[in-house]
Chains A and B, each alone.
Chain A
Protein backbone atom coordinates (compact mmCIF):
# COMPACT_ATOMS: atom_id res chain seq x y z
CA UNK A 1 0.00 0.00 0.00
CA UNK A 2 2.73 2.59 0.80
CA UNK A 3 4.41 1.63 -2.47
CA UNK A 4 1.28 2.47 -4.45
CA UNK A 5 0.86 5.75 -2.58
CA UNK A 6 4.47 6.72 -3.20
CA UNK A 7 4.23 5.86 -6.90
CA UNK A 8 1.05 7.91 -7.31
CA UNK A 9 2.60 10.82 -5.40
CA UNK A 10 5.75 10.60 -7.50
CA UNK A 11 3.79 10.64 -10.75
CA UNK A 12 1.80 13.67 -9.57
CA UNK A 13 4.99 15.44 -8.53
CA UNK A 14 6.74 14.75 -11.82
CA UNK A 15 3.68 15.94 -13.74
CA UNK A 16 3.76 19.19 -11.80
CA UNK A 17 7.50 19.51 -12.38
CA UNK A 18 7.50 18.99 -16.15
CA UNK A 19 7.33 22.09 -18.36
CA UNK A 20 3.74 22.89 -19.18
CA UNK A 21 1.95 25.94 -20.57
CA UNK A 22 1.26 27.17 -17.03
CA UNK A 23 4.23 26.87 -14.72
CA UNK A 24 2.26 26.98 -11.51
CA UNK A 25 2.82 24.44 -8.74
CA UNK A 26 6.41 23.52 -9.54
CA UNK A 27 7.44 23.93 -5.89
CA UNK A 28 4.58 21.69 -4.78
CA UNK A 29 5.64 19.22 -7.45
CA UNK A 30 9.21 19.15 -6.16
CA UNK A 31 7.94 18.63 -2.60
CA UNK A 32 5.64 15.83 -3.71
CA UNK A 33 8.38 14.10 -5.68
CA UNK A 34 10.79 14.33 -2.73
CA UNK A 35 8.14 12.95 -0.36
CA UNK A 36 7.44 10.10 -2.77
CA UNK A 37 11.15 9.31 -3.05
CA UNK A 38 11.45 9.26 0.73
CA UNK A 39 8.41 7.05 1.10
CA UNK A 40 9.71 4.63 -1.50
CA UNK A 41 13.17 4.60 0.08
CA UNK A 42 11.54 3.72 3.38
CA UNK A 43 10.17 0.56 1.73
CA UNK A 44 13.60 -0.68 0.76
CA UNK A 45 15.00 -3.02 3.41
CA UNK A 46 18.54 -1.65 3.35
CA UNK A 47 17.62 2.02 3.30
CA UNK A 48 14.96 1.97 6.01
CA UNK A 49 17.46 1.83 8.87
CA UNK A 50 19.59 4.58 7.32
CA UNK A 51 16.46 6.69 6.83
CA UNK A 52 15.50 6.19 10.48
CA UNK A 53 18.99 7.24 11.46
CA UNK A 54 18.81 10.33 9.24
CA UNK A 55 15.39 11.26 10.66
CA UNK A 56 16.73 10.89 14.18
CA UNK A 57 19.77 13.04 13.37
CA UNK A 58 17.67 15.81 11.87
CA UNK A 59 15.18 15.80 14.75
CA UNK A 60 17.93 15.73 17.38
CA UNK A 61 19.81 18.57 15.71
CA UNK A 62 16.64 20.69 15.47
CA UNK A 63 15.75 19.97 19.11
CA UNK A 64 19.16 20.77 20.55
CA UNK A 65 19.74 23.83 18.37
CA UNK A 66 16.37 25.32 19.22
CA UNK A 67 16.94 24.56 22.91
CA UNK A 68 20.22 26.48 22.76
CA UNK A 69 18.45 29.35 21.03
CA UNK A 70 15.62 29.32 23.56
CA UNK A 71 17.89 29.85 26.54
CA UNK A 72 20.34 32.21 24.87
CA UNK A 73 18.33 34.76 22.89
CA UNK A 74 17.81 38.19 24.41
CA UNK A 75 14.26 38.81 23.37
CA UNK A 76 11.85 36.72 25.49
CA UNK A 77 9.37 36.47 22.62
CA UNK A 78 11.94 34.63 20.50
CA UNK A 79 12.79 32.45 23.50
CA UNK A 80 9.18 31.31 23.73
CA UNK A 81 9.05 30.60 19.98
CA UNK A 82 12.25 28.55 20.05
CA UNK A 83 11.01 26.68 23.10
CA UNK A 84 7.94 25.73 21.09
CA UNK A 85 10.29 24.39 18.41
CA UNK A 86 12.09 22.35 21.08
CA UNK A 87 8.79 20.85 22.18
CA UNK A 88 7.93 19.95 18.59
CA UNK A 89 11.32 18.29 18.12
CA UNK A 90 10.91 16.33 21.34
CA UNK A 91 7.47 15.19 20.23
CA UNK A 92 8.99 14.01 16.95
CA UNK A 93 11.62 12.05 18.85
CA UNK A 94 8.88 10.49 21.01
CA UNK A 95 7.04 9.48 17.85
CA UNK A 96 10.22 7.94 16.46
CA UNK A 97 10.48 5.83 19.61
CA UNK A 98 6.94 4.58 19.18
CA UNK A 99 5.44 6.66 21.99
CA UNK A 100 2.56 8.07 19.96
CA UNK A 101 0.32 9.01 22.85
CA UNK A 102 3.13 10.88 24.59
CA UNK A 103 4.01 12.78 21.41
CA UNK A 104 0.45 14.05 21.01
CA UNK A 105 0.02 14.72 24.74
CA UNK A 106 3.26 16.71 24.84
CA UNK A 107 2.14 18.88 21.95
CA UNK A 108 -1.33 19.43 23.42
CA UNK A 109 -0.16 20.24 26.95
CA UNK A 110 2.80 22.37 25.95
CA UNK A 111 0.79 24.24 23.34
CA UNK A 112 -1.35 25.54 26.21
CA UNK A 113 1.70 26.23 28.35
CA UNK A 114 3.43 28.12 25.56
CA UNK A 115 0.37 30.18 24.73
CA UNK A 116 0.07 31.20 28.39
CA UNK A 117 3.78 31.97 28.48
CA UNK A 118 3.33 34.13 25.39
CA UNK A 119 0.53 35.96 27.15
CA UNK A 120 2.82 36.60 30.10
CA UNK A 121 5.64 37.77 27.85
CA UNK A 122 3.30 40.18 26.09
CA UNK A 123 1.87 41.42 29.40
CA UNK A 124 4.98 41.71 31.52
CA UNK A 125 8.21 41.68 29.53
CA UNK A 126 9.72 44.68 27.88
CA UNK A 127 9.75 44.12 24.13
CA UNK A 128 12.85 44.03 21.98
CA UNK A 129 15.31 43.17 24.79
CA UNK A 130 14.99 46.73 26.06
CA UNK A 131 15.32 45.61 29.68
CA UNK A 132 18.84 45.44 31.08
CA UNK A 133 18.19 42.08 32.71
CA UNK A 134 17.56 40.51 29.31
CA UNK A 135 20.99 41.62 28.14
CA UNK A 136 22.84 40.33 31.22
CA UNK A 137 23.27 36.93 32.79
CA UNK A 138 24.66 35.63 36.03
CA UNK A 139 28.22 34.34 35.58
CA UNK A 140 27.73 33.37 31.95
CA UNK A 141 31.08 31.65 31.50
CA UNK A 142 30.87 29.70 34.75
CA UNK A 143 27.39 28.39 34.05
CA UNK A 144 28.27 27.48 30.46
CA UNK A 145 31.33 25.51 31.59
CA UNK A 146 29.33 23.82 34.34
CA UNK A 147 26.50 22.84 32.01
CA UNK A 148 28.90 21.56 29.36
CA UNK A 149 30.70 19.47 31.97
CA UNK A 150 27.38 18.08 33.14
CA UNK A 151 26.51 17.07 29.57
CA UNK A 152 29.96 15.57 29.06
CA UNK A 153 29.87 13.55 32.26
CA UNK A 154 26.35 12.29 31.61
CA UNK A 155 27.05 11.23 28.05
CA UNK A 156 30.44 9.60 28.69
CA UNK A 157 29.20 7.77 31.78
CA UNK A 158 26.13 6.55 29.93
CA UNK A 159 28.21 5.51 26.91
CA UNK A 160 30.74 3.71 29.08
CA UNK A 161 28.08 1.91 31.08
CA UNK A 162 26.26 0.78 27.97
CA UNK A 163 29.45 -0.30 26.19
CA UNK A 164 31.14 -2.04 29.12
CA UNK A 165 28.36 -3.38 31.25
CA UNK A 166 26.18 -6.34 30.57
CA UNK A 167 23.54 -5.37 28.10
CA UNK A 168 21.01 -7.27 30.16
CA UNK A 169 17.92 -9.07 29.09
CA UNK A 170 17.23 -6.41 26.52
CA UNK A 171 20.26 -7.46 24.51
CA UNK A 172 18.73 -10.78 23.57
CA UNK A 173 15.40 -9.25 22.68
CA UNK A 174 14.35 -9.35 19.08
CA UNK A 175 12.12 -7.20 16.93
CA UNK A 176 9.19 -9.57 17.41
CA UNK A 177 9.12 -9.10 21.15
CA UNK A 178 9.27 -5.31 20.78
CA UNK A 179 6.46 -5.44 18.26
CA UNK A 180 4.34 -7.29 20.82
CA UNK A 181 5.31 -4.91 23.64
CA UNK A 182 5.99 -1.19 23.47
CA UNK A 183 5.79 -0.97 19.68
CA UNK A 184 2.51 -2.86 19.25
CA UNK A 185 -0.25 -1.56 17.03
CA UNK A 186 -2.74 -0.90 19.82
CA UNK A 187 -0.25 1.30 21.58
CA UNK A 188 -2.66 3.74 23.21
CA UNK A 189 -4.94 0.94 24.41
CA UNK A 190 -2.01 -0.91 25.99
CA UNK A 191 -0.74 2.28 27.62
CA UNK A 192 -4.20 2.99 29.01
CA UNK A 193 -4.46 -0.56 30.31
CA UNK A 194 -1.12 -0.18 32.07
CA UNK A 195 -2.15 3.21 33.42
CA UNK A 196 -5.43 2.12 34.95
CA UNK A 197 -4.29 -1.26 36.26
CA UNK A 198 -0.67 -1.12 37.36
CA UNK A 199 -0.46 2.60 38.02
CA UNK A 200 -3.95 3.55 39.16
CA UNK A 201 -2.74 4.84 42.54
CA UNK A 202 -0.32 7.13 40.73
CA UNK A 203 -3.18 8.36 38.55
CA UNK A 204 -5.19 9.24 41.67
CA UNK A 205 -2.16 10.97 43.15
CA UNK A 206 -1.68 12.91 39.92
CA UNK A 207 -5.27 14.09 40.03
CA UNK A 208 -4.84 15.19 43.62
CA UNK A 209 -1.65 17.01 42.67
CA UNK A 210 -3.42 18.88 39.87
CA UNK A 211 -6.19 19.92 42.26
CA UNK A 212 -3.67 21.07 44.86
CA UNK A 213 -1.75 23.05 42.25
CA UNK A 214 -4.96 24.71 41.07
CA UNK A 215 -5.93 25.70 44.61
CA UNK A 216 -2.37 26.82 45.33
CA UNK A 217 -2.16 28.97 42.22
CA UNK A 218 -5.49 30.61 43.06
CA UNK A 219 -4.33 31.22 46.63
CA UNK A 220 -1.04 32.75 45.48
CA UNK A 221 -2.68 35.09 42.98
CA UNK A 222 -5.38 36.22 45.39
CA UNK A 223 -2.59 37.21 47.76
CA UNK A 224 -3.77 35.32 50.83
CA UNK A 225 -6.90 37.42 51.25
CA UNK A 226 -9.89 35.54 52.56
CA UNK A 227 -13.44 36.68 51.90
CA UNK A 228 -14.21 36.69 55.65
CA UNK A 229 -11.68 39.42 56.36
CA UNK A 230 -11.72 41.93 53.52
CA UNK A 231 -9.05 44.57 53.32
CA UNK A 232 -9.71 47.85 55.04
CA UNK A 233 -11.53 50.07 52.59
CA UNK A 234 -9.83 53.46 52.39
CA UNK A 235 -13.01 55.19 51.30
CA UNK A 236 -15.51 56.27 53.98
CA UNK A 237 -18.70 54.27 54.17
CA UNK A 238 -21.39 55.62 51.93
CA UNK A 239 -24.30 55.63 54.32
CA UNK A 240 -22.61 58.14 56.63
CA UNK A 241 -22.49 61.71 55.40
CA UNK A 242 -19.04 63.23 55.14
CA UNK A 243 -18.00 65.15 58.23
CA UNK A 244 -17.21 68.52 56.70
CA UNK A 245 -20.40 69.29 54.85
CA UNK A 246 -21.84 72.68 55.32
Chain B
Protein backbone atom coordinates (compact mmCIF):
# COMPACT_ATOMS: atom_id res chain seq x y z
CA UNK B 1 0.00 0.00 0.00
CA UNK B 2 1.46 3.32 -1.08
CA UNK B 3 0.02 5.12 1.90
CA UNK B 4 1.67 2.80 4.43
CA UNK B 5 4.99 3.18 2.67
CA UNK B 6 4.80 6.98 2.82
CA UNK B 7 3.84 6.77 6.51
CA UNK B 8 6.81 4.54 7.25
CA UNK B 9 9.13 6.90 5.41
CA UNK B 10 7.85 9.93 7.34
CA UNK B 11 8.30 8.23 10.68
CA UNK B 12 11.77 6.98 9.82
CA UNK B 13 12.85 10.50 8.83
CA UNK B 14 11.53 11.95 12.10
CA UNK B 15 13.30 9.18 14.02
CA UNK B 16 16.53 9.89 12.16
CA UNK B 17 16.21 13.59 12.97
CA UNK B 18 15.73 12.89 16.67
CA UNK B 19 18.71 10.54 16.63
CA UNK B 20 20.90 13.05 14.76
CA UNK B 21 19.98 15.92 17.08
CA UNK B 22 20.76 13.66 20.00
CA UNK B 23 24.16 12.83 18.51
CA UNK B 24 24.94 16.52 18.03
CA UNK B 25 24.03 17.26 21.64
CA UNK B 26 25.89 14.22 22.93
CA UNK B 27 29.20 15.03 21.28
CA UNK B 28 29.16 18.80 21.63
CA UNK B 29 27.61 19.72 24.97
CA UNK B 30 29.73 19.82 28.12
CA UNK B 31 27.16 19.71 30.88
CA UNK B 32 26.86 16.11 32.02
CA UNK B 33 23.10 16.35 32.61
CA UNK B 34 22.51 17.61 29.07
CA UNK B 35 24.69 14.81 27.69
CA UNK B 36 22.44 12.38 29.53
CA UNK B 37 19.33 14.01 28.07
CA UNK B 38 20.84 13.79 24.57
CA UNK B 39 21.47 10.07 25.00
CA UNK B 40 17.84 9.61 26.02
CA UNK B 41 16.82 11.55 22.92
CA UNK B 42 18.74 9.15 20.69
CA UNK B 43 16.80 6.28 22.28
CA UNK B 44 13.57 8.12 21.51
CA UNK B 45 14.49 8.39 17.83
CA UNK B 46 15.22 4.67 17.60
CA UNK B 47 11.96 3.86 19.42
CA UNK B 48 10.01 5.96 16.94
CA UNK B 49 11.42 4.13 13.94
CA UNK B 50 10.84 0.74 15.59
CA UNK B 51 7.19 1.57 16.20
CA UNK B 52 6.87 2.61 12.55
CA UNK B 53 8.37 -0.70 11.43
CA UNK B 54 6.01 -2.58 13.75
CA UNK B 55 3.05 -1.00 12.01
CA UNK B 56 4.49 -1.55 8.55
CA UNK B 57 5.12 -5.26 9.11
CA UNK B 58 1.94 -5.64 11.18
CA UNK B 59 3.94 -7.39 13.88
CA UNK B 60 4.27 -6.72 17.60
CA UNK B 61 8.01 -7.37 17.56
CA UNK B 62 8.92 -3.74 17.01
CA UNK B 63 6.72 -2.57 19.85
CA UNK B 64 8.23 -5.22 22.11
CA UNK B 65 11.65 -3.84 21.25
CA UNK B 66 10.47 -0.40 22.38
CA UNK B 67 9.25 -1.84 25.68
CA UNK B 68 12.75 -3.16 26.30
CA UNK B 69 14.28 0.12 25.14
CA UNK B 70 12.23 1.86 27.84
CA UNK B 71 13.53 -0.70 30.36
CA UNK B 72 17.12 -0.11 29.30
CA UNK B 73 16.53 3.65 29.40
CA UNK B 74 15.37 3.37 33.00
CA UNK B 75 18.51 1.38 33.90
CA UNK B 76 20.64 3.88 32.03
CA UNK B 77 19.02 6.78 33.89
CA UNK B 78 19.74 5.17 37.26
CA UNK B 79 23.37 4.42 36.43
CA UNK B 80 24.02 7.72 34.65
CA UNK B 81 22.61 9.84 37.44
CA UNK B 82 24.60 7.85 40.03
CA UNK B 83 27.76 8.40 37.99
CA UNK B 84 26.99 12.11 37.56
CA UNK B 85 26.54 12.40 41.31
CA UNK B 86 29.88 10.69 41.97
CA UNK B 87 31.73 12.80 39.39
CA UNK B 88 30.16 15.94 40.84
CA UNK B 89 31.30 14.94 44.31
CA UNK B 90 34.83 14.42 43.02
CA UNK B 91 35.19 17.59 40.97
CA UNK B 92 32.51 19.97 42.23
CA UNK B 93 31.32 20.75 38.74
CA UNK B 94 29.20 19.27 35.98
CA UNK B 95 31.83 20.09 33.35
CA UNK B 96 32.82 16.96 31.45
CA UNK B 97 36.06 18.67 30.35
CA UNK B 98 37.45 18.25 33.85
CA UNK B 99 37.70 14.54 33.10
CA UNK B 100 39.59 14.89 29.84
CA UNK B 101 42.67 13.19 31.30
CA UNK B 102 40.79 9.98 30.46
CA UNK B 103 41.42 10.69 26.74
CA UNK B 104 43.82 8.69 24.57
CA UNK B 105 47.49 8.86 25.37
CA UNK B 106 48.82 10.92 22.48
CA UNK B 107 45.95 13.38 22.18
CA UNK B 108 46.58 17.03 23.06
CA UNK B 109 44.57 18.52 25.87
CA UNK B 110 41.57 20.65 24.98
CA UNK B 111 41.94 24.23 26.13
CA UNK B 112 39.16 26.79 25.99
CA UNK B 113 40.20 29.63 23.72
CA UNK B 114 37.76 32.21 24.95
CA UNK B 115 34.93 32.00 27.39
CA UNK B 116 31.99 34.08 26.19
CA UNK B 117 30.85 36.85 28.44
CA UNK B 118 27.85 36.24 30.60
CA UNK B 119 25.21 38.66 29.42
CA UNK B 120 23.77 40.28 32.50
CA UNK B 121 20.32 41.68 32.07
CA UNK B 122 19.63 45.01 33.66
CA UNK B 123 17.40 44.47 36.64
CA UNK B 124 13.75 45.23 36.14
CA UNK B 125 12.24 47.28 38.90
CA UNK B 126 8.62 47.04 39.91
CA UNK B 127 6.32 49.70 38.59
CA UNK B 128 4.84 51.75 41.36
CA UNK B 129 1.15 52.39 41.28
CA UNK B 130 0.13 56.00 41.94
CA UNK B 131 -1.11 56.43 45.46
CA UNK B 132 -2.44 59.23 47.59
CA UNK B 133 -4.81 62.06 46.86
CA UNK B 134 -5.39 62.94 43.24
CA UNK B 135 -4.20 66.48 42.53
CA UNK B 136 -6.93 68.90 41.59
CA UNK B 137 -6.72 70.11 38.04
CA UNK B 138 -7.49 73.62 37.04
CA UNK B 139 -10.40 73.48 34.61
CA UNK B 140 -9.15 76.46 32.70
CA UNK B 141 -5.87 74.60 32.11
CA UNK B 142 -7.56 71.57 30.64
CA UNK B 143 -10.18 73.40 28.60
CA UNK B 144 -8.02 76.23 27.39
CA UNK B 145 -6.80 75.85 23.86
CA UNK B 146 -3.87 78.06 23.09
CA UNK B 147 -4.64 78.11 19.35
CA UNK B 148 -7.70 77.22 17.39
A47 to nearest B CB, angstroms? 15
- Chain A residue numbers with a CB within 8 Å of B97 are 133, 138
Question: Does A191 touch B at the CB level, under 8 Å?
Answer: yes
- Chain B residue numbers with a CB within 8 Å of A172 are 1
Complex Cα gap A234–B133 (Å): 70
Complex Cα gap A150–B20 (Å): 6
| B14 A125 Cβ-Cβ under 8 A | no
Question: Does A54 touch B at the CB level, under 8 Å?
Answer: no
Size of the A side of the interface (Cβ < 8 Å), in residues, is 89
**Size class of the contact patch on chain B:** 35 or more
Interface secondary structure of B, over-half rule: helix
Residue in chain A with minimal CB distance to B56: A170
| A214 B71 Cβ-Cβ under 8 A | no
Q: Which residue from B8, B13, B31, B55 sits with its C-beta under 8 Å from A133?
A: B31
Interface secondary structure of A, over-half rule: helix
Question: Does B112 touch A at the CB level, under 8 Å?
Answer: yes
B74 to nearest A CB, angstroms? 6
Closest 3 CB pairs of A and B: A71-B25, A213-B75, A147-B24
Query: 17 A-B Cβ contacts within 8 A?
Result: A49-B3, A70-B37, A97-B55, A102-B70, A117-B37, A129-B118, A140-B28, A150-B20, A150-B23, A155-B12, A177-B58, A182-B59, A182-B60, A183-B55, A216-B79, A220-B86, A221-B82
| A64 B21 Cβ-Cβ under 8 A | yes
Complex Cα gap A25–B110 (Å): 59
Q: With A117-B37, A138-B30 in contact, do A67 and B64 touch (Cβ < 8 Å)?
A: no
| A174 B18 Cβ-Cβ under 8 A | no
| A86 B81 Cβ-Cβ under 8 A | no
